[in-house]
Structure 1
Amino acid sequence: MIRSFFHAFAFREYRWLWLLTTLTNSASWTFTLVVTWQAYALTHSSSWSGAVMFATLIPNIMGAPIAGVLADVMDRRILMVSACGIEIVITVLLSVLSRFHLETPALLVILSLLFGFASSGLSVMLSSLVPSVVPQETLFNALSLQAVAQRGTEFVGPALASPLLILFGPGMAYLLATFFYAFAGTLVFFLANVHIESLADEDLRRRTIFAPFLDGFIYVRKNPTIGLMVSLVGFHCALTMAYMGMLPQFVKTSLHGSTAFYGLVVSAIGLGSIFGTLLLAGVKGVRLRGGLYWMTAVISGASLTLFALSETPVLAMLAIILVGASQAIFMTLSLGYIQHMSVKQMTGRVTSLYLVLAGGFMSLANLGYGTLSNVIAPGWIMRSTGVLFILIVGIYGLFSAQFRTVSKFGTFLSHDNEVQSVHG
């Protein structure tokens, strides 16, 4: 039973990939915790914490497509080391600025934007590598364990950073992120076989950087089930996952929480993610995966609504753990289905398209909700978006045969199983 949960760890390359994902995501969540708290502490406005989250995530629209193309034609180890180096420079600079109280809200936004470009590149490269280091039949288990590293570090990073933030201030907490990136950078070259050879490589190098990404759009358009899942991910990210910009204000004004409690709430999201993805790692039944797909979509909206309605710390913690668990399962299943239906030569570009919608919509929503929360209480915004997403899932269920098929059988309509290359 235990072996079935951790089957993907039998593959050496996957073990290194998982460790790299754990380190880089721990650093990313540490950065997110500190920079959002710092922006709100400086301004006492969710507009600035929302702007910081917008700056961190918006590079997915530009950075992820470029990284997706580069990931399909270059040595990904060089790309990953370069991205880690950029993140080290940014976190060290923020640590120094914070130590001497030279940080400003505008400077936080600018550095968050640069951080986001490197982070989006790392996300594409790490996610798109999974199908190349494990067999196809192990893909969902590998992605579930990968999600433990991606989403579970939302617990690890803030849990380690919160005491540093409280006791020593943001400067020391940023250095924790620096350490994670430095460690990750030294481990990258333990990876082998990270370049996906494809017949299209030379053609890709001769074309403009955005032409192959356009191929990704065409590829998804030719495969309606992939398009369906990518679009639902976009709604999910915009409506249920874009609350980080409002979270400092909600914790302080609605839950009357301290800086320590804010760190606890962020860590609880990651704790829920660990529970959810470990549960998913042990699921082998195809039908059960399909059932979890639609159920966690609904629970994601419902649990966010419950969190927004919470008036006590205990209820808020229980609700946010459920938010983390349901969102981690839904996002992992979505990526798993998308990559399962994509040929290996297209995984970088399809994964980057997935991240463009996820990060792009989330960044815009964070900015919008952060600004709106100056007029409307964050709790009301989260309730409304949670309910709206549940309604959208219902619309998909009523009008999409592909969605019903995946939800009921955990598989796809027959004409979608034969995935074609955009050049075929």
Structure 2
Amino acid sequence: MSASEFALFRHRPFLSFWFGRVFTSMSNNMLAVAVGWQMYDLTHSAMDLGLVGLVQFAPALLFTLIVGHVADRYDRRRIITVCLALQTLVIGVLIASTHYHWISRDLILICSLLIGTAKAFQMPTQQALAPLVVPLEVLPRAMALSSSGVQFAIIVGPAFGGFLYAAGANAVYSLCCALTFCSAISFLSIRIDHAPAPREPVTLRSMFAGLDFIWHRKAVLGAISLDLFAVLLGGATALLPIFARDILLVGPIGLGMLRSAPAVGALTTSIWLARKPIERRVGKVMFGAVALYGVATLVFAFSKLFLLSLGALVITGAADMVSVVIRQSLVQLETPNEMRGRVSAVNSIFIGASNQLGEFESGTTAALWGAVTSVAIGGIGTLLVVATWMKHFPQLTNRERLTSDETDKNS
């Protein structure tokens, strides 16, 4: 670990933020394995796997404008803590219902909806909090380090969740409950000089300020929308239980390994980016990474070999991490603090759409044409999106550096 990285880990607000993200990421990914396997065991339906993603995304879409105002007007640490407390309670419901054998498809969907509601407030608030825990000049390095911890959790979480599931779903749910509670404590312990923005009257103009800001910053608009459409089409996460059970024949342990594989690539890449930040040709590097993500998705779609499938998913994780660090750093550096809540709320909608709504899209197309065709179509779609965005967002394609002349003004 370099001296600059070590200095970040000695910075208490960043350390608390780092642990909070790691704990919640570990819980979320273990929970996804258990819920996905339990739902597929109950219904054997690709559509129901997609519905889990859809009901988690719906609250984010419904509450977008409200979330942004809340994040800008109130203490972001307490908002995150309340959201995590709600998730802890919902996981407790999953524990009780599984133990007493009244778990059902509908109950899983209701719990997913409640967790999605909590995340709708948590995720944009968490994004808006990030630039406050470190100086802006080291934000890209801090985000890469933070992402490395998250990716480690994504590796360990699903794999450990798959092994634990052999002892029953409640073994996984119980650990998720404990981790989510620890995450809440970590975020609550952050000590920073954070004065929420003045509570201006809530008007239509202020509600839509985040959308207006993004619309007039074409580089930001291109970066955020690229994530929406590329990952929306290219994601295969929701279908991994089908690949594990019916195509690769590797069971719940194999499912945990498949879910962990992208994080292996992402962790390796995030550690590299923390040491060697991308400083030149950031636009072209980002588009190249998303194109590689699409190609690796195609390889995974047609693979019948478990090791080849793991390798393809590792590459998707590595490529996605390059894109994520560039996109998220650009958005945060281009946005003034008093606007970060509202901009992060809109950004979270795009991220949520690319993940949860992408899971619904994958489940729907898999129900119509099969899992392999669904993932293949997504990989091709990702490549088409890259070509289209490079043409229509030249400001982003030709972006040389993350920082710009206006960044210093926003800090």
Give how far 1:63 is off.
Answer: 4.1
Give how far 1:412 is off.
Answer: 7.4
CA–CA separation in structure 1 for the residues paired with 2:370 and 2:410: 47
Q: Secondary structure at the match of 1:374?
A: helix
Give how far 1:420 is off.
Answer: 8.2
Q: Does 1:257 align with 2:254?
A: no
Alpha-carbon RMSD: 2.3
Alignment of 1:91-240 (within 5 A): 91-166=91-166, 168-193=167-192, 195-198=194-197, 201-203=198-200, 206-207=201-202, 212-240=206-234
Q: Which residue of 2 aligns with 1:335?
A: 328
Give how far 1:383 is off.
Answer: 1.4
Does structure 2 retain, via aligned residues, the 8 Å contact 1:30–1:173?
Answer: yes
CA–CA separation in structure 2 for the residues paired with 1:68 and 1:146: 23
Q: Counterpart of 1:19 in structure 2: which amino acid?
A: F
> Structure 1: which 5+ residue stretches go unaligned?
none
Deviations 1:119-139 (A, max 9, x none): 232222222111112112101
Q: Which residue of 1 aligns with 2:88?
A: 88
Deviations 1:156-192 (A, max 9, x none): 22233222211x2111211111000111222333211
Q: Does 1:386 align with 2:385?
A: no
Q: Counterpart of 2:291 in structure 1: which amino acid?
A: V
Does structure 1 retain, via aligned residues, the 8 Å contact 2:57–2:116?
Answer: yes
Alignment of 1:17-32 (within 5 A): 17-32=17-32
Does structure 1 retain, via aligned residues, the 8 Å contact 2:284–2:398?
Answer: no
Q: Spell out structure 1 runs of 4+ moving beyond 6 A.
A: 416-421
Q: Counterpart of 2:156 in structure 1: which amino acid?
A: V
Q: Counterpart of 1:184 in structure 2: which amino acid?
A: S
Q: Counterpart of 1:333 in structure 2: which amino acid?
A: I
Residues 148 and 202 from structure 1, CA distance in 2 versus in 1: closer, same or farther, beyond 3 angstroms?
same
Give how far 1:229 is off.
Answer: 1.2
Q: Which residue of 2 aligns with 1:373?
A: 366
Does structure 1 retain, via aligned residues, the 8 Å contact 2:159–2:260?
Answer: yes
CA–CA separation in structure 2 for the residues paired with 1:56 and 1:69: 21
Residues 294 and 63 from structure 1, CA distance in 2 versus in 1: closer, same or farther, beyond 3 angstroms?
same
Q: Counterpart of 1:223 in structure 2: which amino acid?
A: R
Query: How many residues were matched structurally?
Result: 411
Q: Which residue of 2 aligns with 1:356?
A: 349
Q: Which residue of 2 aligns with 1:274?
A: 267
CA–CA separation in structure 2 for the residues paired with 1:359 and 1:144: 20
Q: Secondary structure at the match of 1:286?
A: coil
Q: Does 1:34 align with 2:34?
A: yes
Give how far 1:44 is off.
Answer: 0.9
Does structure 2 retain, via aligned residues, the 8 Å contact 1:223–1:419?
Answer: no
Residues 266 and 240 from structure 1, CA distance in 2 versus in 1: closer, same or farther, beyond 3 angstroms?
same
Give how far 1:215 is off.
Answer: 0.5
CA–CA separation in structure 2 for the residues paired with 1:133 and 1:325: 26
CA–CA separation in structure 2 for the residues paired with 1:128 and 1:24: 17
Q: Which residue of 1 aligns with 2:394?
A: 401
Identity of aligned residues (%): 22
Residues 324 and 22 from structure 1, CA distance in 2 versus in 1: closer, same or farther, beyond 3 angstroms?
same
Give how far 1:417 is off.
Answer: 6.2
Give how far 1:297 is off.
Answer: 1.1
Does structure 2 retain, via aligned residues, the 8 Å contact 1:98–1:170?
Answer: yes
Q: Secondary structure at the match of 1:348?
A: helix
Deviations 1:235-254 (A, max 9, x none): 1231123x222221122222
Deviations 1:324-381 (A, max 9, x none): 1211221221111111111111111111111111202433332232122123121221
Residues 392 and 360 from structure 1, CA distance in 2 versus in 1: closer, same or farther, beyond 3 angstroms?
closer
Give how far 1:221 is off.
Answer: 1.4
Q: Counterpart of 1:202 in structure 2: which amino acid?
A: R
Of 248-257 and 56-65, deviating more is 56-65
Q: Counterpart of 1:389 in structure 2: which amino acid?
A: T
> Structure 2: which 5+ residue stretches go unaligned?
none
Give how far 1:310 is off.
Answer: 1.1
Does structure 1 retain, via aligned residues, the 8 Å contact 2:47–2:367?
Answer: yes
Residues 224 and 7 from structure 1, CA distance in 2 versus in 1: closer, same or farther, beyond 3 angstroms?
farther
Q: Does 1:410 align with 2:401?
A: yes
Give how far 1:394 is off.
Answer: 1.6
